[in-house]
Amino acid sequence: MAVLEKIRVKFGILISVVIALALLSFIIDPNTISQVASTMSSKYRVGKINGNSVSYQDFENELNYQNRIFEYMYRRNANTDQEMDYVRNMAWKTFIDRYMFLSNAKKAGIQVGEAELVDLTSGDMVSPMMSQIFVDETGVFSPEMVDTYIKNMRQYDQSGQMKMFWDYLQHTITTEQYYTKYNSLFAAGNFTNPLMMANQIAENNNSVNVEFVMLPYGYQRDTTITVSDSEIRSYYNKHKKLYRQEASRDIEYVVFEVKPSQTDISSANEQVVKVYDEFSSTDNMKNFLMKNSDRQYVDEWYKKGELRTVSADVDAFVFDTKTKTGAVSEVLTKDNTFHVVRVMDSAMVPDSVFVKGVLLQGVQTDLADSLLTVLKSGKDNIGNVAAQYSALNTPQSGEPGDYGWMTKNTMFPGMESVFTARLDNFYLIETQYGTHIVEVTDRTEPLQKKKVAILEKEALPSGNTINECYVQANELATKADGKYENLKKTVDEEGLALLTRNNLREGDENVGSIDDRTKEISKWAYEAKEGKVSNVLNINNDYYVVAALKKIHKKGYTPVNEVASSISNMLYSEKLGEKKAAEVAEKIAGLDSMQAIADTLGTTVSTRDGISFSSYMNQGLDPKFIGAVSVAEEGVISGPLAGNIGVYVYKVLSHDSGASFTEDDVKSRDAQMSYYSSQSLIPVMMQDAKVEDNRARFY
């Protein structure tokens, strides 16, 4: 009984926990427990900052918010890879700011108050962000536009989009102000007082005229000098911080690029030639290009030079003085793409126009016609009409009815006709948003522009070509059978190029000559075991890759065995310099002239004038030698000095003071120091905060 009592006392808590868990299993769905466990697992963690975990769900929520901001600012979703990367980086920066930077800035005593924020958004110290968004037709910041935006937000923002963007602006501007203030601490810390400035100018204007002899070390290794393992280990331990490394992988790989065959190129050319006559004469160009061209018709005015993005030959043809409306080019070739151009129209068109207008959503056609008649009669103006329909209007500047300055990149889709509209006339325009009544009141100087239709056909790899390329890659992967030795043997036998990429980081998107997005390679490398060979990796259907994982470098410190060779060479060089300097010292003991020293060492006396420590990188001399002579006593034989390439004995003939290094150079150096400080600020903080960025595992 005593034993049972002892067990009950000692293990009572443990038994209670086990019983409680058993009871909970009847109450809680096991899937729920699994989901909670997975949420807590680092496998589902996008990052960690200052001990704060960023879960996948947290990051997705922030990413969705940043996507909404992007869509509001640019009136479209982030579609391209670069745009999606930008949005993800902005989402990640939000967590960096929240969990690291803002905390550090506030600990430093920095604050941004409400009154300061008002000044930054509409007062005397407007932030660059505000001054770029709220500008009038002259490109100048307009406080009135800010007031109008806030007014419209409060009265008509039923969707909440305007409020969302205004909150985003305020938060971003506040955060940037914290950055500005924090960076200013470092900038102010790089202050140079008058005495320091005078010393810098004097030191950097000091040049030296010197005579010297140099005994080179030579290239033959001195077998009497040894570097022990204990010396290497000792140096490594004392300088371990120099060998900090991030996680990376070393890989070797073979690339099979998917390129169109000559048959594919000929086929694309034949397709263009086949429809050439129809393209030259069709009355329904939009439908024709939709069926036959890689490039669709765009109802847009182009000026000279703008079509060079398509092809220099296309631009040259369209804007040749001999090319008239209706002219059709011959087949133009650029790389593996074929173009035929037809000039659809020609006119004098401005780059931008100032548009007044009102959007009449849901208004009957008869009413729109009536309003247009009233405006044309001069009995009312578009501002009053816009004010009446203000809930439906979308002004771009402060006054009701002002759509503002429009260019072809900033206009509402469907309003292309405003560029050729007559000034001070009223027009009805139908767009996807509804019916607009518009008036063009101003414009820039008209230029010669043209509308063009471009029949474009790019030669792409056919199914047969793609399949042949894949078969080659798959044959290599099959012969390798997952083993590096097999891969190396096959590559050597078949004369393939085995490429190397060292220090591949997780999420790296460029591998060698493959400038596409290569995350597939990185993902494989971080899941594979050392020495393994991949199956065929498909890179955007443009490349097939077979890769081998040669080496895994874990985050932390480079193992001593991986840097032992470089440490050994460095210690050897130091010992060699000490030995050679001691030998020279023994040989020249008691000699009092440079010529006698040169004769004894079997070399010659050299002279060099104007050696300056301020620009030692540009003089082609040993840096150790430059540093030594710049402070050496005049007229005294000095040395021997163990330099990087040999042993020096030298005598300074004179020190000269120049005036090439000025106060402006000191200020420039201070500015560089401030720049370096600001650039290293976040990386240093991230290292201290032990930031863990795992985004590459998810995106």
In a domain, 515, yes or no: yes
Residues 352-399: pLDDT tens digits? Answer: 999 988 887 666 667 778 778 878 877 777 777 766 665 444 444 446
| Section 66-74 average pLDDT | 92
In a domain, 329, yes or no: yes
Q: Are residues 550 and 470 in the same domain?
A: yes
| Section 462-475 average pLDDT | 96
| Section 303-308 average pLDDT | 94
User: What pLDDT score was predicted for residue 389?
Assistant: 61
Of 418, 426, 447, which Cα lies nearest the Cα of 370? 426
| CB distance 558 to 579 below 8 Å | no
| CB distance 407 to 396 below 8 Å | no
| Section 168-197 average pLDDT | 88
Q: Are residues 548 and 567 in the same domain?
A: no
User: What pLDDT score was predicted for residue 329?
Assistant: 97
pLDDT at 24 over 50: no
In sequence order, what are the beta bridge partners of 439? 356, 426
pLDDT at 102 over 70: yes
d(CA 590, CA 596): 10
pLDDT-derived band at 34, boundaries 50, 70, 90: very low
pTM: 0.65
Q: Are residues 364 and 417 in the same domain?
A: yes
Look at the block and give the residue holding tokens 């020249």: 588
pLDDT-derived band at 565, boundaries 50, 70, 90: very high
Q: Are residues 605 and 528 in the same domain?
A: no
pLDDT at 35 over 70: no
| Section 638-663 average pLDDT | 89
Give the Å distances, CA to CA, from 310 to 223, 334, 344, 468: 65, 9, 17, 31
User: What pLDDT score was predicted for residue 358?
Assistant: 82
Tell me if residue 452 falls in helix, strand or coil: strand
Q: Higher confidence at residue 611 or residue 494?
A: 494
Quick one: what percent of the chain has pLDDT higher than 90? 60
CATH number, position 519: 3.10.50.40
Q: Higher confidence at residue 191 or residue 63?
A: 63
Q: Is residue 221 packed enough to be buried (19+ CB in 10 Å), middle (13-18) or exposed (0-12)? A: exposed
Q: 500: Cβ–Cβ under 8 A, 6 or more apart, which residues?
A: 250, 251, 252
| Section 622-650 average pLDDT | 92
Residues 220-262: pLDDT tens digits? Answer: 899 999 999 999 999 999 999 999 999 999 999 999 999 999 9
In a domain, 672, yes or no: no
| CB distance 594 to 637 below 8 Å | yes
pLDDT at 203 over 80: no
Residue 520 is part of which domain span?
Answer: 247-259+462-554
| CB distance 76 to 123 below 8 Å | no
| Section 538-560 average pLDDT | 94
Q: Are residues 574 and 539 in the same domain?
A: no
User: What pLDDT score was predicted for residue 6?
Assistant: 45
Name the domain count of the chain.
6
User: What pLDDT score was predicted for residue 36?
Assistant: 45
Q: Are residues 550 and 568 in the same domain?
A: no
In a domain, 683, yes or no: no
* Helix, strand, coil in percent for the chain, rounding step 5: 50, 20, 30
Q: Higher confidence at residue 361 or residue 621?
A: 621
DSSP assignment letter at 529: P
Q: Are residues 585 and 650 in the same domain?
A: yes
pLDDT-derived band at 611, boundaries 50, 70, 90: confident
pLDDT-derived band at 74, boundaries 50, 70, 90: confident
In a domain, 171, yes or no: yes
DSSP string, 402-448: EEEEE-TTTSPTT-GGGGGSPTT-EEEEEETTEEEEEEEEEEPPPEE
CATH number, position 640: 3.10.50
d(CA 49, CA 578): 47
Domain boundary among 554, 576, 610: 554
Q: What is the mean pLDDT of the chain?
A: 87
| Section 582-601 average pLDDT | 94
Tell me if residue 560 falls in helix, strand or coil: helix
User: What pLDDT score was predicted for residue 14?
Assistant: 43
User: What pLDDT score was predicted for residue 321?
Assistant: 92
pLDDT-derived band at 15, boundaries 50, 70, 90: very low
User: Rg for the chain (alpha carbons), in Å?
Assistant: 37
pLDDT-derived band at 320, boundaries 50, 70, 90: very high
Q: Are residues 281 and 335 in the same domain?
A: yes
Domain boundary among 349, 379, 400: 349
Q: Are residues 229 and 150 in the same domain?
A: no
Q: Are residues 340 and 405 in the same domain?
A: no
In a domain, 100, yes or no: no
pLDDT at 168 over 70: yes
Q: 332: Cβ–Cβ under 8 A, 6 or more apart, which residues?
A: 311, 313, 314, 317, 338, 339, 340, 341
| CB distance 210 to 625 below 8 Å | no
In a domain, 84, yes or no: no
pLDDT-derived band at 657, boundaries 50, 70, 90: confident
In a domain, 510, yes or no: yes
Domain boundary among 349, 378, 397: 349
